[in-house]
Amino acid sequence: MDAEVLKKYRPYQPVDLPDRTWPSNVIKKSPVWCSVDLRDGNQALIQPMSLEEKLEMFQLLINIGFKEIEVGFPSASQIEYDFMRLLIDGNRIPGDVVIQTLTQSRESLIKKTFASLKGCKEAIVHLYNSTSTLQRNVVFKKGRKEIIELGVAGAKLIRQEAAKTDTRIRYEYSPESFTGTELPYALEICEAIMDVWEPTPDNPMIINLPATVEMSTPNIYADQIEWFCRNLKNRDAALISLHAHNDRGTAVAATELALMAGADRVEGTLFANGERTGNVDLVTLALNMFTQGIDPGLDFSNINKVINVTERCTKIKLHPRHPYAGELVYTAFSGSHQDAINKGMAAIEDNEETGWAVPYLPIDPRDVGRTYESIIRINSQSGKGGVAYIMDREFGYKLPKEMHPGFGRVVQEVADACGDELSPEMIMHTFEKEYLFNSNGFALKAFNVLKRHIDSAEELSSAEVEAVLKIHGQEKNLHAVGNGPLDAFCKALREMGGLSFTLHAYHEHALTKGSSSKAVTYIEIIDEDEEGWWGAGVDTDIIISSIKALLSALNRADNKPGK
């Protein structure tokens, strides 16, 4: 970067807090959550929500479990005012939910805010004014004393209006752009507001300390919060609230560290919607806690519904890599990742009392309403483990481990050719084409077991079989006796069909998906060149499925390059 360009920027000054305690703390309980989707999130939309969309979003937030919801800025526009009245007049606010309204420190706005609340049982009135050095000097051109006087005047008017109403009013104050405000000055103005509202431990006010613009590394925000909590008079009469934006991309981390530093409450939005790079993402924060065994108090067990409503109301598509919620976050394309997930899932199933411990998956997808079928996705980077996982989970085919590399290569060739992700159906189609329906060289027309004999004294058995087989277009009748039907058929192929091969491996199982009456057999042969070839067969008769599997292996060997 050009040195002259870099001169425009200055590093953010750290907080002098050598005895900070927050790095040793851990989050043990969820904070008080406040959704600002309907206000902060809504004002950042290209097309703000209609009344119907606001109502749908409000109901979603209630269903998730939010008890505090900032529903709008009723003095700022008619639709914001109308929505407030829609909620109150329609009796749509549950008894355990408190709505929150935002207002600047101006008499007309404050009075209209209280008019919008008429008939409401309880509400938080959220007062803010800008306090940062930059805002004071550039936007308002006012000194520190004047800014404090502005905030205090608004606080006094709010208290006066609260005394006139039947609504139980809770107070909240935000020194906007807190992170750009000198800490002693931020403390001074907040304490001046406290002097007006006179909160108590039984009736605390909310002091919201917003990173209106994220300006530093997360640890500095945590230092600011710890410093503020230490120095605030009557700390037990205030709930310290966080409101982080994501300009540096670290809003979640900043909020988590600030909670460790002593904050009590968090304001944010679903999936980080908001001005510029957005607000802190409450979904990520809550599920981060969930993965540590902490009840977040918010229900994201049906994450797809939350996504659908949010996308519909905001008209913003969720990124496929969004934490916990994106389309691709419970998938693995890498072969080594797929193999590790497959083994981890198997270990969990073998020991259900074990806690969640699956490589690459910090959360059980079922806990957010996802299914295992979508965990592994197959493309040209995928490996044999992922392909085997899909065959097992989607279709019930438990391929022998020795068969995985061969089928993995077949699928990879198909993925390379199409240049795209393969769906489970495409993988199954490839399996059928390669193994089940491959009859170019050898095709079974008929098969019968003529006689079975068991010599109990010698513990031996024998079987006589006959078959009609089409070999390279020529129909042949085969007949032989062997230790069992499969052994007899192998003898017939060698003696009458002129084939040279050795039966090397045999596996079978009932299909676990689809028809329970079908069995699948996997057979590996060693051909005359000492190469191994796997085949597979499916039938309601286990003997026929083994005959089909043998012919499948012979067909694959017959079709090898150079033959």
Q: CA-to-CA distance for 145 and 535, rounded, in angstroms?
A: 85
| pLDDT value, residue 330 | 82
Quick check: 412 and 382 in contact, CB under 8 A?
A: yes
> Which 3-state string (H, E, C) describes 123-190?
EEEEEEEECCHHHHHHHHCCCHHHHHHHHHHHHHHHHHHHHHCCCEEEEEEEEECHHHCCHHHHHHHH
What six digits make up the tokens of 10?
């200055």
Q: Is 449 a residue whose pLDDT tops 50?
A: yes
CATH code, domain with 411: 1.10.287.1400
Token pair of 101 as six digits: 């309204």
Boundary-marking domain end, from 436, 459, 494:
436
Rounded to 10 deg, the angle between the 107-116 and 144-164 helix axes is: 30
Torsion of CA 85, 88, 91, 96, to 10 degrees: 140
Q: Into how many domains does the chain fold?
A: 3
Tokens of 127: 């007062």
Residues in the chain: 563
Q: What is Dmax (Cα atoms) for the chain?
A: 109
| pLDDT of residue 47 exceeding 70 | yes
Residues 414 and 449 in one domain: no
Do 195 and 284 have their domain in common?
yes
Quick: pLDDT tens for 68-102: 999 999 998 899 999 999 999 999 999 999 999 99
Residues 494, 380: one domain? no
For residues 552 and 563, what is the distance between their CA atoms, to the nearest angstrom?
16
Quote the domain boundaries for residue 283: 29-314
179 plus 236 within the same structural domain: yes
Q: What is the pLDDT of residue 454?
A: 64
* Six-digit token string for 498: 């002129």
Same domain, 63 and 93: yes
Q: Is there a domain that residue 374 lies in?
A: yes
> How large is the average pLDDT for residues 282-310?
97
Distance CA 489, CA 461 (A): 15
What mean pLDDT comes out for the span 514-538?
A: 88
CATH code, domain with 463: 3.30.160.270
SS3 94: coil
Distance CA 251, CA 214 (A): 8
Q: Is residue 454 part of a domain?
A: yes
Answer yes or no: do 454 and 534 share one domain.
yes
Query: pLDDT tens digits, residue range 252-262?
Result: 999 999 999 99
Residues 6 or more apart whose CB falls under 8 angstroms from that of 389 comprise: 338, 341, 342, 345, 375, 376
The number of angstroms, rounded, from the C-alpha of 58 to the middle of its chain's C-alpha atoms is 22
Per-residue pLDDT band for 550 (boundaries 50, 70, 90) equals very high
Are 406 and 503 within one domain? Answer: no
Residue 115 pLDDT grade (very low, low, confident, very high; cuts 50, 70, 90) = very high
The single-letter code of the amino acid at 322 is: H
Q: CA-based Rg of the chain, rounded to a whole angstrom?
A: 35
Residues 263, 267, 271, 277: what is their CA dihedral angle, to the nearest 10 degrees?
-90
Q: Which residue, of 280, 314, 348, is where some domain finishes?
A: 314
Q: Which residue has the higher pLDDT, 110 or 422?
A: 110
Confidence of residue 440 (pLDDT cuts 50, 70, 90): confident
For residues 362 and 230, state if they share a domain.
no
Q: How far is CA 244 from each of CA 181, 213, 281, 335, 399, rounded to the nearest angstrom?
A: 15, 8, 9, 38, 50
Assign 236 a pLDDT band (cuts: 50, 70, 90): very high
Q: Is 322 within a domain? A: no
Residues 274-287 have pLDDT tens digits of 999 999 999 999 99
Q: pLDDT tens digits for 164-210?
A: 999 999 999 999 999 999 999 999 999 999 999 999 999 999 999 99
- Regarding whether 459 and 371 lie in a shared domain, the answer is no
| DSSP string computed for 395-412 | H-----GGGHHHHHHHHH
How far CA 473 is from CA of 440, 469, 498, 499, 518, in Å, comes to: 9, 9, 15, 16, 29
Average pLDDT score over residue span 375-387: 61
Q: Average model confidence (pLDDT) for the chain? A: 91
Mean pLDDT of 412-435: 88
227 and 353: one domain?
Answer: no
Specify whether 411 is located in the same domain as 462. Answer: no
> Can you tell me the mean pLDDT for 448-477?
80
Question: DSSP per residue over 25-45, as a string?
Answer: ----S--EEEE-IIIIIHHTS
Residue 429 has pLDDT above 80, yes or no: yes
Shared-domain flag, residues 176 and 291: yes
Of the candidates 404, 296, 369, the one whose C-alpha atom is nearest the C-alpha of residue 65 is: 296
